[in-house]
């Protein structure tokens, strides 16, 4: 008994619609899992990454086996490629929602950063303040490391207190010197170097 008889589906419907759809969604799943696995590996979450790797491989084998059984169908090739592309998109969307890990935020502003520093102090944030020099004159440079989930709050504060500031955000694999965050979402320690602005 073949698959179409087992599922009681017309063979043409099975070959040109059902199997391509299966391949499409299987590829979305395994590529999304792959994206998350890499992110967890980069953040040293080895157990989660290992479990995700198992499911990624199992789903990929299911999809590729259907490809080999339906080599003559262009729909399966289209479903495979389309599922791969969509899986990348879905994986990135999930990763953004999870907001895993830490980030370093650098803020460079020609305007005095007193209000922004006050905000950092009020929120018990770790930061480093430096005086710098740009092509247009003296600048204030602030560095802070935080949990990625807190990033929208900080960006909002930067735009509020120093709207003309240049800021960059970069992922951090590991952070030493203890935990970054207290029970309110912010660290209690504060570091400050440079001038007394």
Considering 44-58, 71-85, 123-137, the range whose residues carry the highest mean pLDDT is 44-58
Q: How many CB atoms are located within 10 Å of the residue 24 CB? A: 21
* Residues ≥6 apart with Cβ < 8 Å to 131: 138, 139, 140, 141, 194, 195, 197
Higher pLDDT, 71 or 190: 71
Residue carrying the six token digits 């199997």: 19
Angle, CA 47 vertex, CA 30 and CA 185 arms, to 5°:
100
Higher pLDDT, 39 or 5: 39
What pLDDT sits at residue 32? 93
pTM value is: 0.61
Cβ atoms of 26 and 62 within 8 Å: the answer is yes
Beta strands in the chain (DSSP E): 102-109, 128-134, 137-147, 166-172
- The stretch 147-151 carries a mean pLDDT of 82
Residue 148 has pLDDT above 50, yes or no: yes
Q: How far apart are CA 87 and CA 40, in angstroms?
A: 17
Higher pLDDT, 178 or 9: 9
* Residues ≥6 apart with Cβ < 8 Å to 60: 26, 30
Residue 36 has pLDDT above 80, yes or no: yes
Q: 172 forms bridges with which residues in the sheet?
A: 102
Cβ atoms of 110 and 138 within 8 Å: the answer is yes
């Amino acid at each position: 008994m073949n698959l179409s008889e087992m599922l009681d589906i017309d063979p043409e419907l099975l070959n040109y619609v059902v199997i391509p759809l299966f391949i499409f969604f299987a590829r979305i799943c395994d590529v999304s899992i792959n994206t998350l696995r890499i992110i967890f590996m980069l953040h040293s979450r080895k157990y989660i990454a290992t479990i995700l790797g198992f499911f990624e491989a199992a789903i990929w084998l299911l999809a590729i086996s259907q490809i080999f059984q339906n080599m003559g169908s262009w729909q399966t090739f289209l479903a495979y490629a389309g599922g791969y592309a969509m899986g990348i998109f879905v994986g990135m969307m999930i990763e953004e929602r999870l907001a895993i890990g830490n980030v370093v935020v650098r803020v460079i502003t020609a305007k005095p950063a007193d209000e922004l520093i006050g905000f950092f102090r009020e929120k018990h944030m770790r930061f480093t303040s430096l005086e710098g020099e740009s092509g247009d004159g003296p600048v204030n440079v602030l560095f802070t490391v935080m949990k990625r989930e807190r990033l929208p709050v900080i960006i909002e504060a930067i735009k509020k207190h120093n709207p003309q500031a240049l800021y960059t955000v970069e992922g951090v694999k590991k952070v030493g010197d203890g935990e970054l965050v207290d029970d309110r979402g912010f660290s209690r320690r504060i570091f400050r170097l440079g001038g007394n602005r």
